[in-house]
Amino acid sequence: MALTREDLYSLEKYEEIRNEFRAKVMAHKKHRQVSIGEYARLYFEDQLIMHYQIQEMLRAEKIFDAAGINEELEAYNPLIPDGTNLKATFMLQYSDPVERQMALAKLIGIERKTWLQFAGFDKVYPITNEDLIERETAEKTSAIHFMRFEFSAEMIAAAKEGAALNMGIEHEHYNHVVMAVAEDIRHSLVGDFS
């Protein structure tokens, strides 16, 4: 569900509760990320995480006017799942800059080869980079992509009934599968279908 100005804390109130709120969000985020192989990771976004991101932006930029707050809401609300999908930030994480540059050149299109699958159903491939920022060139892909995975009503029903969640990437230069993600993660993600 999208956030509104009424959901946000004032700068003063946020400063009072920031440490406690941050700890809550960091604990929550641990159950919303999955590594696919050594270098790829999906970070699944939701309302709580976006609430934190917005509060941090308002705090850092000292934004307190309605127009500025609305601008942040417009930027972050599209990353909140709306009941039929899961939304994620996909990151390729190479610590060595030379290795990263070589990998990004070989992994063009990897964001379109990433999939999620509830047991018993077809793989679901993402709609990517809806923010319309060009993240790929003829020479390389980006280390960060934004993804939306849309699920049918039947898939969602099965997920709510406990169907295992598998994830993978089937790129010619990066091919990995995660069978039956951990239950705490599956449970957290299925909560996005409420």
Q: Is a pLDDT exceeding 70 seen at residue 135?
A: no
Q: How many CB atoms lie within 10 A of CB 32?
A: 21
Average of pLDDT values for 157-163?
A: 97
Question: What SS3 state is found at 162?
Answer: coil
Give me the pLDDT at residue 130, please: 73
CA dist 19 → 60, 144, 159 (Å): 15, 28, 34
42-75 tens-digit pLDDT: 999 999 999 999 999 999 999 989 999 999 999 9
Topology of domain 34-44+83-194, CATH: Immunoglobulin-like (2.60.40)
Res. 194 pLDDT band, cuts 50 70 90: confident
Average of pLDDT values for 106-126?
A: 96
E runs forming strands in 151-189: 165-171, 174-178
Domain extents in the chain? 1-30+47-80, 34-44+83-194
Give me the pLDDT at residue 132, please: 60
Q: What is the mean pLDDT of the chain?
A: 94
With 0-12 / 13-18 / 19 or more C-beta atoms within 10 angstroms meaning exposed / middle / buried, residue 30 is: exposed
Give me the pLDDT at residue 11, please: 93
Q: Is a pLDDT exceeding 90 seen at residue 159?
A: yes
